[in-house]
Amino acid sequence: MKRTFILALSLAGTAALFGQDPQYTKDGSLVMPKDYREWIFLSSGLGMTYGPAGQTDAAGNPRFDNVFVNPSAYKAFLKNGTWPDKTVLILEIRRSESKLSINTGGRVQTELAAIEANVKDTARFPGGWAFFGFQGSSNEAKLIPTSEGCYSCHGQKGAVDSTFVQFYPTLREIAKKKGTFKSTE
């Protein structure tokens, strides 16, 4: 009996480390995964033209976008070259500055500008995936309607399973080896 208890504790600890399945509110919003900065980093871009929040801010400074994924989905991707159900991708958009501390050129990341999420939950969403946008400091993100361009663009141009793996340099190589990479170039 005590052995079972210890094992259960261990499994619970592992689940906490790896994050959990996506959580929703009663009205279908996504609850912000508070620990996403401890998830797996996939890549960042600067001023990418496909960026959902625009490539620059009002002052003309380009924005960085950082992409993170929940660790259990990452482990599955390494093994299979595609995403499992309950994958959560977080797109964190940050402002940039050039002259900061000793840096005098190029761009460094500063304040948070926006957070979006792309969630795979096949029992819940037609097509498998849904997009959510966090507003301000809210901990809940509203579902972005399927009529928005992100759905069709990801479906048509995403290299793996409606996601932009072409922009994630380490996963790009894995998907090519596993034969799951759809060329969009």
Residues with Cβ within 8 Å of residue 124, at least 6 apart in sequence: 24, 130
Judged by CB under 8 A, the residue of 21, 28, 38, 139 near a second copy is 38
Establish how many alpha carbons lie within 13 A of residue 166's alpha carbon, considering only the half-sphere containing its beta carbon: 13
Q: What tokens does 150 get?
A: 């992100």
Under rule CB under 8 A, residue 8 binds a second copy: no
Reference 89, options 16, 165, 152, 2; nearest CA is 165
Contact (Cβ atoms closer than 8 angstroms) between residue 167 and residue 43? yes
- Applying CB under 8 A, the site for a second copy has a residue count of 53
Under rule CB under 8 A, residue 53 binds a second copy: no
Under rule CB under 8 A, residue 170 binds a second copy: yes
Q: Which residues bind a second copy (CB under 8 A)?
A: 2-3, 6-7, 9-10, 13-14, 17, 37-38, 40-41, 43-51, 55, 62, 64, 66, 68, 71, 74, 94, 100-112, 153, 157, 159, 164, 166-167, 169-170, 184-185
